[in-house]
Structure 1
Amino acid sequence: MNTAGPARRADSRRNRARLLEAAEAVIEQDGAQASLEAIARRAGVGSATLHRHFPSRQALLNAVFHEGVERLSRRAQELAETQTPRDAITTWLEELTTYTSTTRGVAAALMADPDGGVAVEGSCHGLLHGAAARLVADAAEAGVLRDDVTPLDLITLANALSLASDGDAETARRLLHLALGGVLLGAGSA
Structure 2
Amino acid sequence: MKYNLAVFFSLIFLLLSCKDDNQKRIAENKKEMQKRAVVFKNIEKGWVLYDEPVTEAGEKSIASWNEWRIFLAELAVKPKKTIRAFQQKSKALSKKVMALDDNIPYEYNKPPIKSRISTLITKVRLLDLFIHLDNIPDKKVTLLVSEINLELVSLQRQMDKIVEKSKIPIEEGESDLLKMMDTTRAIPNTPIIDPNIPRVE
The reply to whether TM is greater than 0.5 is no
Question: Which has the bigger relative contact order, CA under 8 A and spacing at least 6?
Answer: 2
| TM-score after normalising by structure 1 | 0.29
